[in-house]
Amino acid sequence: CVLYDSWLHLLHNMNDTEEKREMCKCEGLQFGVHFLSDTVCLLHKIEVSFARTMIFTVEEINRDPSLLPGLRLGYKVYNGCGTENLIRAAIEAINGNDPLACGGQTLVVLGHSSSGVSSDINTIISAVSVPQISHLSTCACLSDKARYPTFFRTVPSDKFQITALVQLMKYFDWRWVGIIHSVGTYAEEGASEFVKEAQKEGVCVEYTMVYLETSRSRLRTIIETLKESSSKVVLMFMPLSFAKTFLYHMEEYNITGKQWVGSESWISAKYLASAERKHILHGAIGYAIPQASIPGLGEFLLSLKPSDEPHGALIKNIWEEFFDCSFTPSNTSTLCTGAEDLRTVLSDYTDVAKFREENNVYTAVYSVAFALHLLMQCENGLNPTMGNPWSACVICKIVSLKVFDALKRINFTTKNGARVFFDENGDSIAKYDLVNWQMKEDGSADIFIIGQFDNSSPEGKKLKLKEYAKIVWGGYNNVVTMSVCREPCPPGTRKAVNKNKPVCCFDCFQCSEGTISNKTNSLDCSPCPPEVWPNEMRDNCVPKPTEYLSYTETTGTLLTGFGTFGVFLSLLITTIFFTHKETPIVRANNSELSFLLLFSLKLCFLCSLTFIGRPTQWSCMLRHTAFSITFVLCISCVLGKTIVVLMAFSARRPGSNMTKWFGPVQQRVSVLILTLVQVVICIIWLTINPPFPKRNMQYYKDRIILECALGSAIGFWAVLAYIGILATLCFVFAFLARKLPDSFNEAKLITFSMLIFCAVWITFIPAYFSSPGKFTVAVEIFAILASSFGLLFCIFAPKCYIILLRPEQNSKKRIMGKIKQTH
């Protein structure tokens, strides 16, 4: 395994120790940049790109006469293999064993790509206050200044990546996700932090699986979990090397219908694409380090030749892999000439259209240069930034602590427009490109930027998607993938936490009667005001339907028909009586009272119609007063007829002069007085507290009953009591006269009619109180009609029968016959 290691520290790029000493005597200073990074065999090409970027940046800085005047930066490249060699190199650098180190001390270390290695290295070098700047170590743990006090980085911390990933889940409403991560500090810490942050934002993790390159059983477990899980979104959090092997193993499994979300370490690596991985990578989304343009870097990387490192095996190995040739004569492969053109090769190294990780290396080297620039700004022997006096001639004696302090204060803008500074945790500005994989038929991929995440933006505006970005979704979906443990509770329901399940696997319960929720995932249902009621979906309060006894409904129509029929029948009987007014049966019992009774019955039938229809102020007053006055007039007429019968038979007894005391005049006066009493009661009632329309919301919760409130209950029951007293007197008098000798004894008819009348109104009282809503009015109308029909039929039907069907009985002789026989 040929590995490429590169460390970065300040040193002279000299081959002669004596010459170095002379330079330290201020005859001209030349400092160097020492860059070292670990590269696993599968990734050595990208690490070469990082090292070459460092070289390019050093040369660019050296060409700038204003940045470090009188000082040049150099570099030295180490070959190593594995973490142990890298840590050994770090110890060697800070111990001053490098003969090229100015003053025998390393001032700055740049690296490493791996978070785990950077952690180990900083643990060593921080003991002697040597600052470290990493271009790719993203673990959030490295922001802990108690453990890693001298660590800086030009790549955003995973803390911000985790925040961005959680915001992405929230933005697309992915509340139910799975995580697959590899071993190592970067992946393990990242997955753990994601779970914590996701829980805070209401995003639940269905499973967390660990991928091991060497474990087939673990891979089978991951495959089964992916097939059986209900979550549609899978976060693949692992370094590029693990991502490549994981995707390679996934090629043989048909895992579809998932939306894959990648971590920044691999989401921008286009070379991972292949036709066999199309079902996974098509539509993948993730955050990538922002791309940048670095003028001249592309040409510099593509100009690499094996002759640049004639004694280095690494470049030759890469060259042989690129061009499928060999520098050693062989029968199985062509001979490498070293003049091959890298522009003909498609790889992550030769993809120089835009730069992402390379820009972090570029920025890291410039950070060192600007820190030295601060230290070199001496005015009269006083450094304006540090406040410590020194001369430029003793720059070799700058201690690492001074460089460390200067790095905390740098604030500059690179040539490509990027602003660079470090916060109190040593972290740089956190910005990401949100990218989307769009696979082609041939297995290649285009990675499009569909948005940005800027942690420095205000809350709620950190994640911005491009307005017209065309997004391809995983699983070949045409719309955003839905990934929830439970569909959101729709309006009309409330969300309740299930204690036995994750918070995302909540339950939805319909709002109780009288309450609504008009938002998705509402935690509570709100009661509707009294005048309104929930609609059928219980997501909005709508005006309650108003209900009253109308002419259009069945009950109202029937009662109107019966009332109209009663009026017609009364008119018919009046016509019959009027046409036969001279006959004995009409004249037998004061025809004037009969006509007045028929008139009052017409009014009784008509007043029932005032109870039907929408209640108004006038109709409420009219219906009760009209009913009470017309009924008193009716009962007064019946009472008058009853008294006439009693007087008539009492007058036939010897010595009786009763008829002169209750003649026609007295009958009219009695009816008038009895009616006026009711009129006075009604006037008092209407004056003090009249009936009024009322919206009754007590009978039913879902509708409003429009009714007439009594106003004064005493007034209502007073008029009913007065009617009852008159009816009782009438019944008593008629009952006393029932056995009087007469061929046509009207007292019996009056007795029977009063019996019906009293029975109707006695049953009316409990029915009135027990009937709900508009049926209370129907009961009252029914009582009016029943009692009116009772009086009409009982008193007038027998007489109409004789007039129309038995005219031979309509004679004075027939009517008086029984009286004569009796005497």
What pLDDT does 15 receive?
33
pLDDT digits 0-9 by tens, 343-353? 888 887 888 88
**Nearest-angstrom CA–CA distance, 813 and 588:** 12
**Does any domain span residue 23?**
no
State whether 86 and 201 are in the same domain: no
**Taking 50 as the threshold, does the pLDDT of residue 131 lie above it?**
yes
Which residues does 106 contact at the CB level (< 8 Å), separation at least 6?
A: 9, 10, 11, 34, 93, 94, 96, 98, 125, 130, 400
DSSP one-letter string for 240-273:
HHHHHHHHHHHTTS---S-EEEE-TTTTT-GGG-
Which of 49-58, 505-514, 659-668 shows the lowest mean pLDDT across its residues? 659-668
Residue-level pLDDT at 285: 96
Q: Count how many residues are written for the chain.
A: 823
Strands 285-288 and 431-439: antiparallel
Q: Cα–Cα distance between 329 and 780 in angstroms, integer?
A: 119
Residue 29 resides in a domain = no
Residue 572 is predicted with a pLDDT of 93
| 716 and 756 fall within a common domain | yes
Residue 472 has pLDDT above 50, yes or no: yes
| Band of pLDDT at residue 16, cut at 50, 70 and 90 | very low
Cβ distance 762 to 539 under 8 Å? no
Peptide bond into 279 cis (omega under 30): no
State the residue range of the domain holding 793.
554-650+660-807
Asked whether the predicted pLDDT for residue 1 surpasses 80, the reply is no
Q: How confident is the model at residue 393 (pLDDT cuts 50, 70, 90)?
A: very low
**Residue 160: what pLDDT?**
93
For the four alpha carbons of 376, 377, 380 and 382, in that order, the dihedral sign comes to negative
Q: Which residues of 595-630 are buried (b: 16+ CB within 10 A; e: fewer)?
A: bbbbbbbbbbbbbbbbbbbebeeebbbbbbbbbbbb
Instruction: Inform me whether the pLDDT recorded for 29 exceeds 70.
Output: no
Report pLDDT for 161: 93
Cα separation, 496 vs 524, in Å, equals 9
Q: Where are the alpha helices (DSSP H) in 352-409?
A: 357-376, 400-407
Count the domains in the chain.
4
Nearest to 185 by CA among 80, 83, 44, 46: 83
Residues 493-537: tens digit of each pLDDT: 999 988 888 888 889 999 998 899 999 889 999 999 988 999 989
Q: What is the pLDDT of residues 290-331, one digit of tens each?
A: 989 899 999 999 998 888 877 667 788 888 888 888 888 877
pLDDT of residue 546: 87
| Banded model confidence at residue 86, pLDDT cuts 50, 70, 90 | low
User: What is the percentage of the chain residues whose pLDDT exceeds 70?
Assistant: 83
Please answer whether residues 92 and 106 qualify as being in contact, where contact means their C-beta atoms are separated by less than 8 angstroms.
no
Q: Which of 539, 433, 544, 441 is nearest to 491 (CA)?
A: 539
Contact 5, 80 (CB under 8 A): yes
165 plus 305 within the same structural domain: no
**Mean pLDDT, residues 529-557 taken together:** 89
Give the pLDDT score at 731.
82
180: which strand partners?
A: 209, 236
Tell me which residue of 13, 100, 113, 111 sits closest to 59, measured CA to CA: 13
**Residue 310 amino acid letter:** P
Q: What is the pLDDT of residue 742?
A: 53
**pLDDT for residue 394:** 45
CATH of the domain at 259: 3.40.50.2300
pLDDT tens readout for residues 159-171: 999 999 999 999 9
Q: Are 293 and 417 in contact (CB under 8 A)?
A: no
CA distance 64 to 73: 11
The pLDDT of residue 586 is above 70: yes
CA distance to 321, 443, 648, per residue, from 275 (Å): 22, 4, 121
Residue 660, pLDDT score: 57
Helix (H, G, I), strand (E, B) or coil at 672: helix
E strands within 568-673? Answer: none
Structure confidence at residue 77 (pLDDT)? 62
Q: Which residue has the higher pLDDT, 249 or 767?
A: 249
**Helix axes 774-805 and 746-770, enclosed angle (nearest 10):** 170
Same domain, 347 and 402: yes
How far apart, in whole angstroms, are the C-alpha atoms of residue 163 and residue 152? 20
- Full-prediction pTM beyond 0.75? no
Confidence band for 205, pLDDT divided at 50, 70 and 90: very high
Tell me how far apart the alpha carbons of residues 736 and 731 are, in angstroms, rounded to a whole number.
Answer: 9
Q: What is the pLDDT of residues 134-147, one digit of tens each?
A: 998 888 889 999 99
- For residues 559 and 697, state if they share a domain: yes
Is the domain of 274 the same as that of 209?
yes
Residue 161 and residue 455: Cα distance in Å, rounded? 10
pLDDT at 25 over 70: no
- 220 or 332, greater pLDDT: 220
Helix, strand, coil distribution of the chain in percent, nearest 5: 50, 15, 35
**Closest to 151 (Cα-Cα) out of 170, 167, 166, 130:** 130
Token output for 420: 């660079």
Nearest to 426, CA basis, from 640, 707, 131: 131
Tell me what the mean pLDDT of segment 408-433 comes to.
90
Whether 18 is covered by a domain: the verdict is no
Pairing mode, strands 204-211 and 692-696? unpaired
What number of other Cβ atoms are within 10 A of residue 150's Cβ?
A: 23
242 pLDDT higher than 60: yes
pLDDT-derived band at 487, boundaries 50, 70, 90: confident
Give the pLDDT mean for 209-215. Answer: 90
The answer on 729 and 781 residing in a single domain is: yes
**Res. 652: pLDDT tops 60:** no
Q: Is 114 helix (H, G, I), strand (E, B) or coil?
A: coil
Give the residue-averaged pLDDT of 7-27: 34
User: Which structure tokens are listed for 64?
Assistant: 């700038």
345 lies in some domain:
yes
Longest CA–CA separation in the chain, Å: 172
Residue 173 lies in a domain: yes
User: pLDDT digit string (tens) for 711-757?
Assistant: 888 988 898 899 889 888 888 877 776 666 554 457 777 788 888 88
Same domain, 637 and 498: no
The pLDDT assigned to 42 comes to 38
Instruction: Tell me, yes or no, whether 477 lies in a domain.
Output: no
Query: Pick from 94, 96, 90, 60: which is nearest to 78 by CA?
Result: 90
Q: Are residues 185 and 223 in the same domain?
A: yes
Quick check: is 516 in a domain?
A: yes
390 band by pLDDT with thresholds 50, 70 and 90: very low
The answer to whether position 818 is within a domain reads no
pLDDT at 78: 58
> Is pLDDT of 358 > 80?
yes
Report the range of poorest mean pLDDT among 373-377, 383-387, 577-581, 662-666. Answer: 383-387
In contact, 547 and 705? CB cutoff 8 Å: yes
Point out the domain boundary residue: 355, 387, 417: 417
CA distance 187 to 729: 103
In a shared domain, residues 585 and 733? yes
Lowest mean pLDDT among 52-66, 177-191, 305-319, 484-498: 305-319
**pLDDT confidence of residue 475:** 79
What the block records as the tokens of 307 is 């002759």
Residue whose tokens read 């046409």: 579
pLDDT at 388: 45
- Tell me the average pLDDT across 442-460: 90
The residue ranking higher by pLDDT, 242 or 771, is 242
Burial of 25 (0-12, 13-18, 19+ CB in 10 A): exposed
pLDDT in tens, 588-600: 766 788 888 889 9
The chain-wide mean pLDDT, for the chain, equals 81
Least confident segment among 17-26, 401-410, 497-506, 513-522 = 17-26
For 347: left if phi > 0, alpha if psi spans -120 to 50, otherwise beta; the answer is beta
User: What's the CA angle centered on 217, arms 214 and 223, to 5 degrees?
Assistant: 105
Higher-confidence residue of 92 and 299: namely 299
Write the DSSP symbol of residue 771.
Answer: S
Do both 151 and 162 map to the same domain? no
- Which residues neighbour 49 within 8 Å (Cβ) at sequence distance 6 or greater? 301, 348, 349, 357, 358
Task: Decide if pLDDT at 653 tops 60.
Answer: no
Residues 686 and 727 in one domain: yes
Q: How confident is the model at residue 81, as a pLDDT?
A: 53
